[in-house]
Amino acid sequence: MSHFSFLPLLLLSLFAFARAQDSVRHAVEERSPVGDTSGIIPGSRMRDDAADASAATPARPAPADSTAVKQSSFNGWRFAGVSAVAAGTLAATYLYAQDAWWKDGNTSFHFDDGADLIYSRNIDKLAHVYGGAIAADMFSDGLRWSGLGREASAWYGFGLSVFVQMVIEIKDGFSTRWGYSVWDVASGSLGSLFTTLKVYSPTLAAFDVKFSYLRHTDKYFTVIKHTGTWNDDYINQTYWLSARMKSLLPKSAARWWPAWLALAAGFGVDESLNGYDARHPERTSGSIELYLALDVDVTKILPSDNGVWETVKHYLNYIKFPAPALRITPHVIAFGLYF
């Protein structure tokens, strides 16, 4: 079962602190030396620029909590605001899920019986990775704005993201239809950890998880589940791991590579998927789709001169925009533009 649905609600928290980040981000730009990521705010354009500047330099862990920008002090009011947004997000997510996923009733707590590993050919696990990565990024940004150190914010962001996922999974454990899925929690935690470890490695920071959705077929809504919602329509979803090559190539080659051009590997399932009711795993089929595609780093092509827009650009970069692609499996197909 995918909990991708809570992400739109988490996106609301972005704008609770985006404008206030403006002054902090400008301070980073003025005081952080080129190639030094120790003062970079997670989730900001400056983190990506630092990764590009470090393309020919081996990744090295940053000194423990050594920031180029000294935060004035921990701001309790800002922290209270971030906490309120987080609590409101969790409450809204719970209420939404109560109607969307758990309306079939409750039973005693139980774990998933194993069918979860066949459900939707495990594409839902990529949704959990993706959701965990975004949630950790947002929580970390909010805590950084509150005055916490860079590394502390990253790890608390990781913890809060995992907590949100575990609350939802525990509720699943009491559902008659679902069950507590260790694999869902592990997948989401992996996504959160991916975001957190970017703080320590410019090389890892050159990779981004992305998502694309376009209704190529109506099979999910006409055959599989007439009352379904787009977030469970895995047939039309693709999850991507995008690499900003300018940050990864040797210096001699990186100088010729456009900063905005990335390469991405995509994963999905084709329309031979017949169903993904975890209670009837024998009905689940479908072939895994693998893609190679060009990608665009929107943080490099959209102009900006203020922190709010820099933050918006950063989160827009979680979306894989249309670009030429090659599907490798189950059959080779070239697309002029694929989304």
246-255 pLDDT, tens digit each: 999 999 999 9
Residue 277 pLDDT: 56
- The Cα 178–Cα 225 span in angstroms is 17
Do 181 and 172 meet the contact criterion of CB atoms below 8 Å apart? Answer: yes
| Pair type for strands 323-329 and 288-296 | antiparallel
pLDDT in tens, 26-51: 434 433 433 343 333 334 444 444 44
Residue 27 pLDDT: 39
3 state DSSP class of 335:
strand
Residue 95 pLDDT: 82
Residue 100 pLDDT: 72
Residue 308 pLDDT: 83
Phi, psi of 330, deg, nearest 5:
-75, -15
- The Cα 144–Cα 140 span in angstroms is 6
Burial class (CB in 10 A: 0-12, 13-18, 19+), 80: exposed
Residue 296 pLDDT: 97
Domain housing 79: 4-338
Residue with tokens 């019986």: 113
Intervals of the chain under pLDDT 50: 1, 4-72
Name residue 22's amino acid: D
Residue 60 pLDDT: 39
- The Cα 276–Cα 118 span in angstroms is 8
Residues 6 or more apart whose CB falls under 8 angstroms from that of 49 comprise none
Predicted TM-score (pTM) of the model is 0.80
Whether the ω angle into residue 281 lies within 30 degrees of 0, i.e. cis, is: no
Residue 275 pLDDT: 61
Residue 259 pLDDT: 95
How many domains are contained in the chain? 1
End-to-end CA distance of the chain: 23
Phi, psi of 211, deg, nearest 5:
-140, 140
3 state DSSP class of 310:
helix
- The Cα 124–Cα 231 span in angstroms is 10
Residue 36 pLDDT: 40
Residue 281 pLDDT: 54
